[in-house]
Amino acid sequence: MKGAKPVIAIDGPAGVGKSSVGKAVALRYDLSFLSTGEMYRCLGWKVLDMGINLDDEDKVFEAAKNIKWSFERASDNSLKVFVDGVYLGGKLFSDKVGQAASKASASARARAVVTQKQIEIGRAGAIVMEGRDIGTVICPGAQVKIFLTATAEERAKRRFLQLKQNGKTADYEQLLSSIKARDERDSSRAVAPLKPASDAVIIDTSDMTLRQVTDKVLEISSPYAS
């Protein structure tokens, strides 16, 4: 069963821990790791930076089409995403950019452009990819498909604690409503909505620690990757 270049697809809603789990699995099995949401965040950031109205589909599509993507594998195995040669890093993780990414990613034509790039990356294999549609659209032939879930309240709580730990201010109710808004938009859009592939293993992480979730995904992936 072991494949030389397996693809491990991890999908799920905002704030469920896909990146933390995916990075740990990639490191353990010496695979690359890509957060596909980071690419949509780059698009969201660019649209905001250019002053484009997020409801203007033509302009959002143009912005997506004109992005020159490049990637560099970092020491933690994750692929750093460069937009037009620039690494945006921490600029991508504000709530404003997250909401812009969610809106821009609902535009079918802009999505098609980003999807094409992600399909190319997935085809090369030897990668853990996380997002909303990896198992359904980007890598339907992935050897491992995981769908992580947790209640919106639990995800808001985790995010709240994470921000506090990093010495940032946080408002639980605001985080919860933001997560619910993104869930609603990401799940109800016409193209590639957030949903588990029919052959995905669904893991409800609400009562699990990060370590437990990681161990479970490592165990499921082991026949294909170790």
| Amino acid occupying residue 62 | E
> Segment contacting ligand DC (CB under 6 A): 46-54, 94-102, 139-147, 204-212?
94-102
Pairing of β 7-11 and β 144-149: parallel
Tokens 């990681």 -> residue: 214
Q: Return the structure tokens found at 74.
A: 């970092």
Q: Return the structure tokens found at 55.
A: 């409801």
Shortest Å, Cβ 222 to ligand DC: 25
Among 133, 147, 217, 225, binds ligand DC (CB under 6 A): 133
Q: Return the structure tokens found at 71.
A: 């990637």
Distant-in-sequence, close-in-space partners of 125: CB < 8 Å, separation ≥ 6? 3, 4, 5, 6, 7
Tokens 């990075």 -> residue: 23
Among 29, 40, 45, 147, binds ligand DC (CB under 6 A): 40
Shortest Å, Cβ 223 to ligand DC: 25
Site membership for ligand DC, residue 14 (CB under 6 A): yes
How far, in Å, CA of 129 to CA of 82, rounded? Answer: 17
> Segment contacting ligand DC (CB under 6 A): 34-42, 50-58, 152-160, 213-221?
34-42
Beta bridge partners of 129: 9, 34
> Segment contacting ligand DC (CB under 6 A): 32-40, 52-60, 79-87, 201-209?
32-40
Number of residues this chain uses to bind ligand DC (CB under 6 A): 15
Among 77, 105, 143, 205, binds ligand DC (CB under 6 A): 105
Distant-in-sequence, close-in-space partners of 154: CB < 8 Å, separation ≥ 6? 205, 206
Site membership for ligand DC, residue 102 (CB under 6 A): yes
How far, in Å, CA of 53 to CA of 7, rounded? Answer: 36
Site membership for ligand DC, residue 103 (CB under 6 A): no
How far, in Å, CA of 128 to CA of 148, rounded? Answer: 14
Q: Return the structure tokens found at 83.
A: 């937009």
Among 9, 110, 145, 186, binds ligand DC (CB under 6 A): 186
Report the residue number, 31 or 137, with the smaller CB distance to ligand DC.
137
Site membership for ligand DC, residue 37 (CB under 6 A): yes
Q: What are phi and psi of 70, to 5 degrees?
A: -145, 160
Shortest Å, Cβ 110 to ligand DC: 10
Q: Which residues bind ligand DC (CB under 6 A)?
A: 14, 36-38, 40-41, 98, 101-102, 105, 131-133, 182, 186
